[in-house]
């Protein structure tokens, strides 16, 4: 994708993607929190499965279930947050910066 600065017509333009980065981080935190809830469920089912192998199996199964639940939640949340941030970058914020003259602009102009 080639974008030229509307002010000086330079091609030295980069996307800032502030909202995308913030969205990804916020989404990861929110997702991990959601993941923590599903981690509890994962821990329960993991413990139930592990219980077949005795108390140690139940503990290990619970741990594995909790870790998987937390990781999955964080990954999904991060993805969703980044996508939401991309939308904000594209439509709300001035997302492009010219390195020749410092002009900041959005594509909608
Ligand atoms: Zn420029």
In a domain, 2, yes or no: no
CA 6 to ligand 1 centroid distance, Å: 7
Closest CA to 68 of 42, 49, 50: 42
Which residues, including other chains, have CB under 8 Å from residue 60's CB and lie 6 or more apart? 46, 50
Domain hosting 32: range is 17-93
Structure tokens at 67: 């870790």
Burial 60-90 (b: 16+ CB within 10 A, else e): ebbbbbbebbbebbbebbbebbbebbbebbb
pLDDT tens digits, one per residue of 48-107:
877 777 887 778 777 887 887 778 878 888 888 888 878 877 777 778 899 999 999 887
What residues flank ion ligand 1 with Cβ within 5 A?
5, 7-8, 10, 98, 100-101, 103
- Indicate the number of domains in the chain: 1
CB 41 within 8 A of CB 70: no
Q: Check residue 101 and give its pLDDT.
A: 97
In a domain, 1, yes or no: no
Q: What is the pLDDT of residue 103?
A: 93
**According to the model, what pLDDT value does residue 10 have?**
96
Is 45 within the bounds of a domain?
A: yes
For residue 85, the CA-to-ligand 1 centroid distance in Å is 25
- Tell whether the model's pLDDT for residue 109 goes beyond 70: no
Examine residue 85 and state whether it is found in any structural domain, yes or no. yes
Each residue's pLDDT tens digit, 19-51: 778 887 887 787 777 777 777 777 777 778 777
| Alpha carbon of 11 to ligand 1 centroid (Å) | 8
Q: What is the pLDDT of residue 1?
A: 56
**CA end-to-end distance (rounded Å), the chain:** 17
Average pLDDT over residues 8-19: 89
């Amino acid at each position: 994708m080639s974008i030229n600065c509307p002010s000086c017509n330079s091609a030295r333009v980069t996307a800032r993607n502030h909202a995308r980065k913030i969205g990804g981080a916020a989404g990861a935190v929110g997702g991990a929190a959601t993941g923590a809830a599903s981690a509890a469920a994962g821990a329960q089912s993991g413990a139930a499965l592990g219980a077949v192998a005795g108390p140690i199996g139940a503990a290990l199964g619970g741990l594995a279930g909790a870790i998987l639940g937390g990781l999955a939640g964080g990954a999904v949340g991060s993805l969703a947050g980044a996508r939401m941030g991309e939308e904000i970058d594209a439509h709300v914020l001035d997302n492009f910066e010219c390195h020749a003259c410092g002009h900041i602009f959005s594509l909608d102009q």
